[in-house]
Each structure stands twice: as structure tokens, then as C-alpha cells.
Amino acid sequence: MKKVAVVGFGFMGMTHAGNILKNDKLELVAIVDTDVEGIAKKISSGEGNFSAGSIDPGQLRNVNKYKTLTDCIANEEMDAVHICVHTDLHFSLAREAMTAGLNVFLEKPISLELEHGEELIGLANNKGLVFMVGHVLRFMSPYEKLKRWTDRKEYGALNFLSMSRFSGVPAWGQWKEKQADFGSSGGALFDLLIHDIDFVHYLLGPPDKIESTYLPGALSAYDYVSAFWSYSDRSLKVKLEGGNTFHSNFPFQAGYMANFERASVLYTTLKPEVIHVSDHNENMEIDAEDGSDGFYNEIDYFYRCLELKIKPEKCMPESSLDTIRICYEHLR
């Protein structure tokens, strides 16, 4: 059993805790949150842009609660921590955990400062720690299928890919308290569209050219982003679009449309059970499998790497940092 703590028990911290509790190779020993009194209140609150799953409060009875990571490190024996705080705290808390010799699962994005990301990668390498950033699309079944079809050319070569992700302005947790400070999340580009930017980076490599436009919103100067990626060695074009410029209760929706030589495919979280695969003769609905399993899968993968003492090749922190570099290229 690996002993694990979750740092930041907001929407994502609860998602991590729920998936750690489901995994019989893991023991959740501690939760750290500056609002330690709020932990019980948050359980089963269902906050966030998709279901965080409900946690039975009884499952947390024997889990120790701390206000600071420093106290938690001083009092607990742990193998790893999951850092699920807002982006402006990723670097300091991940560095503190690594300095104490702990393996780190860090929520996306790695950091908005490239040099901070480099320092974390260097620290993890020097200490021989497993360090992974939670780019969950890499572990979600509908996106894994898209990767398999593209890599194996099952429907021929990919000609056009459109990725999108829209949500209302977040109205849960720290998000709603920090309006003035929203620059710390990086806005929709670094917080929301980064999912798709990272996935296309993983799927096809970095683009040679990015043409982008963006619009300001409640959170940052780029709360809506629309971009075209192109590759000099392929005729393939990629369109990425998304943002959180809408009202808070606007339904979250993300998905992809891909045009391969022999078929076109469509996946949308508005109908998450299926992926449409169409050609000129028919439209088939194939099982998308469980898109939300990505949160379990990414955690399970991280601990398999830890068990085997190997690097997380499917989601290397160097690749996460390159994704940040690509995000910045959208602002040129």
C-alpha cells in the first residue's frame, strides 16, 4: 500500500481523494487544506464542471487533516502527495514536497513560469522521484481511442481535427473568491484549453505554425481562444477553440471532431456514452467507454510507475512544460 496525501481539498482535491479511495493499492492518510474546517462541508457538494463523485464522510474518519503541507510532512509517513491547489501555488508546494523526498502528482498546469517548471523537473530527477502532471485527457477512453486511430491509421490518415472545450465562469471553491486575482490561473488558455493543447501536442507533436485569436473575459485577457495549428510536413490542420466566457451555469461541453481519409468521428461530453463514426454510407455509434475514468486511470498509472520505479513515459513533466511553451505561443 502506498501512503498518500491530497493537498488542496477543493473540486479537484475531492476528485483525487475519491479516486485514491477507490484504489485498493493506495491508502489516503492525510488531507491538507487551509480551510481545514470546510473539508466535511465540501464532501458530496458536487462542485465543479463535472461530477467529482461523492465521498462517504465515513471514509475520511481516519484520514488526518492539516492546515499546512509543512505540518503534514512533519507528522505523516507518506510515499506521495497530490497537489490540487490553484496554479499560483503549484511550484512552492510541489517543491516543498519534493524537497522532503515525496513523489508528486501535480494538477495541471505544471506552472505558468517556465523556470519554475524546469526547477521542479530538475529536483525530481536529482532525487529520483516520480513526478507527473495531471493531463487527464491522455488517460480518458474517448481520447485514447482517438490516439489509437490516429497512430494506427485505422481510418487512414488524419486530415482535420477540431477540439473544443467550453464552460461557464467557474463559480465554486476559491475561484469565486479570487476574481481580482484570476490571472493566477492563467485564464481559459492555461486553465481550460490547456487540456486540448496538451492532448494535440501529445497526439501530433508541437505545431510549426499557430494562428490564434483571443478575447478577454471575467478571468483574464484570454478567456476565449480560437486557434489553427499547422504542420509543415503534413497538410493536416487542427482547430482548437474554447473558453469560459459564458454564464456560470452554462453546461460544460468538450469534445472532438476528426476527419480521417475513410471516416469522420465525433465525440461530445453532451452525449458521452458514444463516439459517432461516419462515412458516406452510414453513421455508427460506438461505445465511448467511461470518459470520467481518466481521473482514476491517471492516478493508477502514476502509482504503477512508482511501483516499477520508472518515469511516467505517457505523461512526462518535460512534455507538460512544453505544453506551457505552446500555450504561450498562442499569445504572440
Ligand X SMILES: NC(=O)c1ccc[n+]([C@@H]2O[C@H](COP(=O)([O-])OP(=O)(O)OC[C@H]3O[C@@H](n4cnc5c(N)ncnc54)[C@H](O)[C@@H]3O)[C@@H](O)[C@H]2O)c1
Binding map of ligand X across residues 15-54, x = CB under 6 A, - = no contact: -----------------xxxx-------------------
Which one of residues 4, 9, 312, 324 is an interface residue with ligand X (CB under 6 A)? 9
Listed ranges 11-19, 208-216, 276-284, 324-332: which one lies at the site for ligand X (CB under 6 A): 11-19
Ordered DSSP codes for 279-308:
-SS-EEEEE---GGGHHHHHHHHHHHHHHH
Q: Which three cell numbers stand for residue 295?
A: 481521473
* Interaction of residue 108 with ligand X, rule CB under 6 A: yes
Residue 110 vs 158, nearer CB to ligand X: 110
Task: Considering only the stretches 21-29, 81-89, 276-284, 305-313, report the one whose residues sit in contact with ligand X under the rule CB under 6 A.
Answer: 81-89
C-alpha count within 13 angstroms, C-beta hemisphere, residue 71? 12
For residues 241 and 227, what is the distance between their CA atoms, to the nearest angstrom?
6
Q: Is residue 231 a contact point for ligand X (CB under 6 A)?
A: no
Q: Which is nearer to ligand X, 7 or 104 (CB)?
A: 7
Minimum distance of ligand X from residue 79's CB (angstroms): 19
- Measure Cα distances from 170 to 150, 151, 226 in Å: 33, 35, 20
CA angle 166, 214, 270 (to 5 degrees): 10
Cβ proximity to ligand X: between 160 and 172 the closer is 172
Question: Which residues touch 91 (CB under 8 Å, ≥6 apart)?
Answer: 111, 113, 116, 117, 119, 120
Number of chain positions touching ligand X (CB under 6 A): 25
CB of 49 to ligand X, least distance (A): 7
Nearer to ligand X, 263 or 294 (CB): 294
**Rounded alpha-carbon distances, angstroms, from residue 61 to 2, 14, 147, 170, 246:** 19, 15, 41, 29, 38
**Residues in region 158-197 near ligand X by CB under 6 A:** 172-175, 191
Which of these, 149, 166, 133, lies nearest to 305 by C-alpha position?
Answer: 133
Q: Among 3-11, 23-31, 54-62, 95-103, which window interacts with ligand X (CB under 6 A)?
A: 3-11
Query: Which of 117, 134, 217, 242: binder of ligand X (CB under 6 A)?
Result: 134
Counting contacts by CB under 6 A, is residue 201 touching ligand X? no
The CB-of-109 to ligand X minimum distance in angstroms stands at: 6
Q: Rounded to the nearest 10 degrees, how much is the dihedral formed by the CA atoms of 74, 78, 84, 85?
A: 10
In DSSP terms, 28 is beta-bridged to 4
- Whose CA is closest to 203, among 257, 147, 259? 147
Examine residue 139 and tell whether it contacts ligand X (CB under 6 A): no
Site for ligand X contains 8 (CB under 6 A)? yes
Integer CA distances (angstroms), 17 to 73, 139, 188, 221, 229, in order:
18, 17, 25, 33, 36
Q: Which of 4, 10, 96, 288 binds ligand X (CB under 6 A)?
A: 10
Give the interface with ligand X as residue ranges (CB under 6 A).
Answer: 7-13, 32-35, 84-87, 89, 107-108, 134, 136, 172-175, 191
